[in-house]
Structure 1
């Protein structure tokens, strides 16, 4: 018997008769795989394999799915309903920025709390140390330059500020003045000498290359003076400068008429020579100023005024001569002066604190500016101001 070509296999019953294959069943929906069919008692191996229904080749319809959802392939594994197109992820930068800001505020707050603690501690220590030094200390002040009114350590204002700071600091037990100056304005030297004399702690002077005139007047108020062997020290004396330009003006054909309230008002202008009376007047002024200088040195050095007057030649002495004539105490260095200050203060273990240096060039420039400003402020007696300023010690 010719077999039907549409059959790829035969199924036989128990009696040998030809049993027609069961009709194909439609695939249940919406299960992704065909449900098992009930058996007819034959072995499972003899059951025909069911092919998917032709209707499954049509695209599946999904109600409610987006129109852009693509059709499913015929024999593909079942797919879930098409999800909406993914949306771009929301930016999280603002979250990072917010976290950074919060952290910054926390750090600033912590720093402020720490600073407050430091300031509180510093405030409690202010009564202990106003100079930033702790423990027994010897302070050093450099007087390096012309004695004048320039605000530096070479001026009354500058030196007074440093001396007050050293006096108020309980940790500073003694002071060294490192002097390198040829002198300057007599009045400035007088004021500075008074400030050193009134200082309430031991003061030792360390003389550098020069310690003369007004600078020596200041040094004479210290408790002890060291000098190098080759230091130019002393020069006790006073000078007043009056320039006579009348001869030069005559040669140049320049005539200057001065209208003054008194005959001697223009005596220091330099337009004419001094009269004998004016010369005598200015000499008396210089002698009086020099008398103050001599008295200060005598008091500071513990000498008689007559003894100091003999040394007031206006000339300097070498360091070795100054030790012999009593203007200095010993030959020594800056370190010797520091050790001596510690000895006078009664301390053996100490630190050294430099309270600042004055610049010679800067002080000179400031002095010139100060001079010009003062003349501008006093135009009617500018020459008289020059005369007073140039009264040197």
Structure 2
């Protein structure tokens, strides 16, 4: 009976060994499946919430850093000084970036925000003098957009780009004529003789208009000084240069408002010799967009509820 017992023992050991192998294999595949699932979930979350880190991919030894300035320059838009300056700081600080490009598509906006960005660019250029900084204009670079652009080493445009608008504007409406026809009178009570300045429902006060004009003229001179400091002797003599006029890209190059023609790809490839472009632009993620939309809808709903409540009383 001993040979039979040995055979049974060997068979049992073999079965146990095979079972152990299958268990280990199953655990291995389960672990792999979990890792793949984790990577997939993280990828989906990154896409849905638009997770963005400035300079993502910084492990690339040699690259061109890109920051985009799009739309109206304002503290409440993505083209705000805090976010743009944070992206610029990251781009300049990264030792793997061989140069920085600021791509601009902006009609202008806040002179304060534009000035803050201009100041930060000049600071970074002083701090990193060996790192070239180019501005590439696509469709439009006007007013506050151009205020930012003049901080660049060079400004490159398309021949049909819109450039310039070196001026300052304050606009509004006056309804006093219509109010007179409708028999409506304005009742405005202020503490401070200029507190209701430029009120659209009151008649213009010549003294207040003069005050505003003086303020705009001063800001205009600040703008002109920044342009001259940035462009220097490249600017050509032209009586309308600082009149608020807009020129196309070809005219801008002739006037010294821009240096030549180019795109992000051509600068990265042909000038910086680093065709790999990494985007450092800070972008509003999905969660922030939802929060803003939710906040706006909540405000609208509350307003409607208050109106209904008022109508019921």
Q: Does the pair score TM above 0.5?
A: yes
How far is the alpha carbon of 1:295 from its aligned partner?
Answer: 0.8
Q: Relative contact order (C-alpha < 8 Å, sep 6+): which is higher? A: 2
SS at match of 1:143: strand
How far is the alpha carbon of 1:324 from its aligned partner?
Answer: 1.1
- Extract structure 1 runs of 4+ deviating beyond 3 A: 303-310, 356-359
Query: Do 1:131 and 1:166's aligned partners in 2 also have CA atoms closer than 8 Å?
Result: no
- Pair 334,103 (structure 1): closer, same or farther in 2 beyond 3 Å: closer
- Give 2:106's aligned residue: 181
Query: Do 1:206 and 1:334's aligned partners in 2 also have CA atoms closer than 8 Å?
Result: yes
- Give 1:263's aligned residue: 193
- Give 2:3's aligned residue: none
Which of 119, 134, 137 aligns to 1:204? It is 134
- Pair 107,170 (structure 1): closer, same or farther in 2 beyond 3 Å: same
Find the aligned partners of 1:196 and 1:210 in 2 and give their Cα distance: 20
- Give 2:152's aligned residue: 222
How far is the alpha carbon of 1:306 from its aligned partner?
Answer: 10
Find the aligned partners of 1:320 and 1:292 in 2 and give their Cα distance: 26
Which of 240, 251, 276 aligns to 2:170? It is 240
Find the aligned partners of 2:152 and 2:84 in 1 and give their Cα distance: 14
- Pair 349,281 (structure 1): closer, same or farther in 2 beyond 3 Å: closer
Which of 171, 174, 190 aligns to 2:115? It is 190
- Give 1:148's aligned residue: 74
Greater Rg over alpha carbons, structure: 1
- Pair 258,290 (structure 1): closer, same or farther in 2 beyond 3 Å: same
How far is the alpha carbon of 1:252 from its aligned partner?
Answer: 3.0
| Residue 206 of structure 2 corresponds to residue 276 of structure 1 | yes
SS at match of 2:183: coil
Find the aligned partners of 1:323 and 1:305 in 2 and give their Cα distance: 9
Residues 333-381 of structure 1: per-residue CA shift (max 9 Å, x gap): 3323324651xxxxx355211224769xx99xx7xx99xx9xxxxxxxx
Query: Do 1:237 and 1:314's aligned partners in 2 also have CA atoms closer than 8 Å?
Result: yes
Residues 140-180 of structure 1: per-residue CA shift (max 9 Å, x gap): 1121211111252x110110111121122111121111111
**Number of corresponding residues:** 248
How far is the alpha carbon of 1:251 from its aligned partner?
Answer: 2.7
- The equivalences for 1:89-100 within 5 A come to none
- Pair 309,284 (structure 1): closer, same or farther in 2 beyond 3 Å: farther
SS at match of 2:88: helix
| Residue 171 of structure 2 corresponds to residue 171 of structure 1 | no
How far is the alpha carbon of 1:310 from its aligned partner?
Answer: 4.9
How far is the alpha carbon of 1:301 from its aligned partner?
Answer: 0.9
- Give 1:41's aligned residue: none
Answer with 162-171 or 332-341: which moved more: 332-341
SS at match of 1:281: helix
SS at match of 1:138: strand
Structure 1 alignment gaps of length 5 or more: 1-95, 116-128, 343-347, 374-393
SS at match of 1:268: coil
Q: Structure 1 or 2: larger helix share?
A: 2
| Residue 169 of structure 2 corresponds to residue 251 of structure 1 | no
Structure 2 alignment gaps of length 5 or more: 1-19, 40-53, 300-313
- RMSD value over aligned CA atoms? 3.8
What TM-score do you get using the length of structure 2 for normalisation? 0.68
- Give 1:299's aligned residue: 229
